[in-house]
Each structure stands twice: as C-alpha cells, then as structure tokens.
C-alpha cells in the first residue's frame, strides 16, 4: 500500500475514533481494538498489496519513538517517596521472574525445535503488562485503590525491568552466543545497561532541577512546558546512544528522575502521554496490524493458540498467586490481579524493535506467531472484560477500599 494512503487512513481513523470514542467505550470497544483492526484492514491480508518490510524505516522510527515515550512516561509516574511497595514488589520481583521462567519452561516443551535464546526472547517480550488495555480496572474508583494502584504500578515498572534482560538476550542472538566461546557480548551488554542508566539519570536529574528553577522564575511559557517531556525523552535516548549506552534504558531512568524531582514536569508528562503520546501508541497498534500480523498469520495453529491461552492465564496467574502468598487476599482478588496482566504496547514495541535488530523472523516464525497471537487475544479479551469484571469485583470487595 502507498505510504501516503496509509497515513491518510490513519488520520481518518484518529478523527473518526475521536468523534465516537466515548460512545463505543460503552460497548467495551477500546482504541487498541479499533486501530489494530484498521491496520489489518489495510494490510496485504485484505488489500492484497505488498506491505512494508519489518525493518522498514517508518516502522523502526515509530516503534522507537513510541517505546521511548512509553518508558519515559511510565517511569515518571512512579512517585517513589509515596509508593506503597507491598503488592507491587511481590508482583515485580517474585511474580515477574516466575512468569518469565514458567513461560520459558513450558515454551521449550511446546516448541522443542526452537533455540532456547529465542524461547527466552519470547518469554521476555510477553512478560510486560499493559494496564491501558484494561483501563476500566485502573480508573474505576469503585475498585479498591490498593488493587488499582498495584496493577498500575506493576504495569509501569515491569517494562523497564524487563528491557535490560531483553537487551542481553538480543545481544546473545546477534553475536551467536548460544555457546559461551566468546564473552565479548557480556561487556557490550554491561556497557549498554550501565551507560544507559547513568545517562538517563544525569539528563533526568539536572533537567528537573533546571526546569524547576526556570518555572519558579517564570522564565518559561506555559505552552512550552508541555514540550519539555518529549524533548527530554528524546535527548536522553540520543545522549546515551552517543556514549555507547542503551537509549531506551536511558529514557526510563530519565523519566524516573524527572518524575521524582519535578512535580510540575511530572504533570506535563502525564498530559503529554494522554494526548500526543497516546496518538503515537495508537499508530503502533496500526503498524502491528499492518505489518506484524500478516508476517505471522500463516504460522498460527493449535499449538500457538494453545500456548497463547496459557500465556494469558496459567503462566500469568500462577506466578501472581505464588507472589501473593501471605497477603490474605481471597481467591477472587488473586484471580482478578492475575487476569489483568494484558500484553499490549510494550510487547508490540519490543517485538517490532527486536525484529529490526535481529534482521528477520525467518526460521523462528512459530515464536513470533505466538507473540502476535497472544497480543491479539489480549487486546480483545482484556478490553472486553475490563469494565464488567471491574464492576463485579468492586461489588463484592467494597470492604477493601
């Protein structure tokens, strides 16, 4: 499909969805559903036209920019001083590692011919959750605040925690390190993570201090305060890349420091993420439907479908249940938290960037087919169930508020 036509269709979709977004939300139809379907409708599956390759410049730029914004905005929303760490710590440091381990172990049984590095790659890509796919759960005030905030904090932090591990596995694959005959990739990964974190912390901290001073002196126009977050996110990315660090890790740490050292900037990050940032994310769902689904659909079968279902249920819920042992939550609460671990924008952006970094999905199509199918099932299952499940849960758990 011609790129200008695709851009026009995306613009019309944004316009049309904007007009009726509140109306269709009453029928549990979410933005990700709409934009992903539009992507499929303009893909070769429907139009018959050739699609952009997975390493196309447009795909790469949009995915990279969207991931930078997602990591930066997620981290900036984490108020470390007031954060209640009980449940989120359990979910992030017990539930998340167990999810990765369980997923990798079961995947090795389902796909015995796949290299373990690719199985681990899939486990990491599918590990982060996306609270936005079940937005009603984290915005419905009838749901106990402790439960809402825990799901939200988990979603905000797990992508940043997973990404250094993802960088490591990608480096292993690129350098062919299924056997440890050369340790050069270890130094490369260490430099990526360390320099990325240091660069992000440096940009985030000093930008927050300078911005606070400029705002107090009233040297900055209010209109430009809304532009600061995206500028800082991009600056941290390229600053880290220039010195050999990982730009995405830098974006996460920059957001973490900005959000905790500047109240004013944190509010503007939230405003940006809910408007311009959300637009870029919706476009990423279009790209997913346009590019990635057609590339993997021929490899969907009962095996990939079965594993996708396990990924969204048992392989998520069991680790969550183990992590919540001792909290005295009833079974309904454990299942509620376990179910609302949607796989959305982080997984989409990870797989698009990983496919570009590695260069091709050829030879490992079943792995990528599982990823795409899991994301699709999650978009619909969690989008449709969020509102009714939130109401049902809140109705029977008012005492926990």
Tens of pLDDT, residue by residue over 221-250, are 776 777 787 888 899 999 999 988 999 999
- Both structure tokens of 98: 């167990």
> pLDDT by residue (tens digit) across 168-217?
888 888 877 545 455 666 787 888 899 999 999 999 999 888 888 887 88
| Confidence label for 334 from pLDDT (cuts 50, 70 and 90) | very high
Q: Is the pLDDT of residue 400 over 50?
A: no
What pLDDT score was predicted for residue 266? Answer: 76
Split at pLDDT 50, 70, 90, the class of 1 is low
Q: From CA 53, how far away is CA 50, in angstroms rounded?
A: 9
Residue 212: the pLDDT is 82
Angle subtended at Cα 10 by Cα 5 and Cα 15, rounded to the nearest 5 degrees: 125
Q: What is d(CA 121, CA 103) in angstroms, rounded to the nearest whole number?
A: 10
Domain count across the chain = 1
Statement: residue 81 has pLDDT above 70:
no
Whichever domain contains 118, its CATH number is 1.20.1530.20
Q: Give the predicted TM-score (pTM) of the model.
A: 0.88
Percent of the chain residues past pLDDT 70, beyond the cut: 91
Residues in the chain: 401
Residue 54 has pLDDT above 50, yes or no: no
Q: Cα angle at 164 between 76 and 340, to 5 degrees?
A: 60
What is the span of the domain harbouring residue 149?
3-400
Residue pair 352/54 in contact by the 8 Å Cβ criterion? yes
> Does residue 122 register a pLDDT over 90?
yes
- Give residue 50's pLDDT: 53
**Distance from C-alpha of 388 to C-alpha of 378, rounded to nearest angstrom:** 16
Q: What is the pLDDT of residue 313?
A: 95
């Amino acid at each position: 499909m011609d790129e200008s036509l695709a851009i026009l269709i995306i613009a019309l979709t944004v316009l049309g969805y904007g007009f009726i977004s509140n109306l269709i939300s009453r029928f549990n139809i979410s933005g990700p559903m709409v934009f992903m379907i539009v992507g499929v409708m303009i893909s070769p599956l429907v139009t018959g036209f050739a699609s952009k390759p997975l390493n196309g410049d447009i795909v790469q730029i949009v995915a990279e920019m969207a991931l930078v914004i997602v990591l930066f905005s997620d981290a900036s929303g984490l108020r470390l001083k007031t954060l209640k760490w009980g449940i989120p710590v359990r979910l992030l440091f017990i539930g998340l590692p167990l999810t990765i381990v369980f997923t990798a172990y079961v995947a090795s049984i389902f796909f015995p011919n796949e290299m373990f590095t690719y199985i681990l790659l899939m486990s990491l890509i599918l590990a982060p959750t996306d609270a936005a796919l079940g937005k009603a759960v984290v915005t419905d005030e009838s749901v106990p605040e402790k439960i809402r905030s825990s799901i939200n904090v988990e979603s905000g932090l797990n992508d940043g925690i997973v990404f250094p591990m993802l960088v490591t596995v990608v480096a292993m694959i690129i350098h062919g390190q299924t056997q440890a005959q050369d340790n050069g990739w270890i130094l490369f990964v260490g430099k990526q993570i360390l320099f990325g974190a240091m660069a992000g912390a440096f940009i985030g901290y000093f930008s927050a201090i300078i911005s606070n001073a400029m705002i107090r002196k009233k040297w900055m126009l209010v209109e430009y305060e809304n532009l600061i977050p995206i500028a800082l996110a991009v600056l941290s990315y390229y600053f880290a890349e220039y010195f050999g660090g990982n730009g995405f890790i830098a974006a996460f740490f920059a957001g973490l420091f900005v959000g905790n050292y500047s109240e004013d900037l944190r509010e503007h990050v939230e405003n940006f993420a809910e408007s311009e940032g959300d637009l870029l994310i919706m476009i990423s769902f279009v790209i997913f439907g346009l590019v990635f689904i057609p590339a993997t659909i021929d490899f969907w079968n009962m095996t990939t479908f079965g594993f996708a279902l396990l990924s969204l249920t048992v392989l998520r819920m069991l680790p969550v249940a183990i992590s919540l042992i001792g909290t005295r939550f009833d079974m309904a609460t454990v299942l509620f938290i376990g179910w609302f671990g949607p796989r959305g924008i982080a997984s989409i952006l990870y797989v698009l960037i990983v496919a570009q970094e590695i260069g091709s999905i050829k030879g490992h199509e079943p792995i990528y087919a599982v990823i795409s199918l899991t994301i699709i099932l999650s978009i619909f299952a969690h989008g449709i169930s969020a509102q009714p499940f939130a109401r049902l849960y809140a109705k029977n758990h008012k005492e926990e508020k």
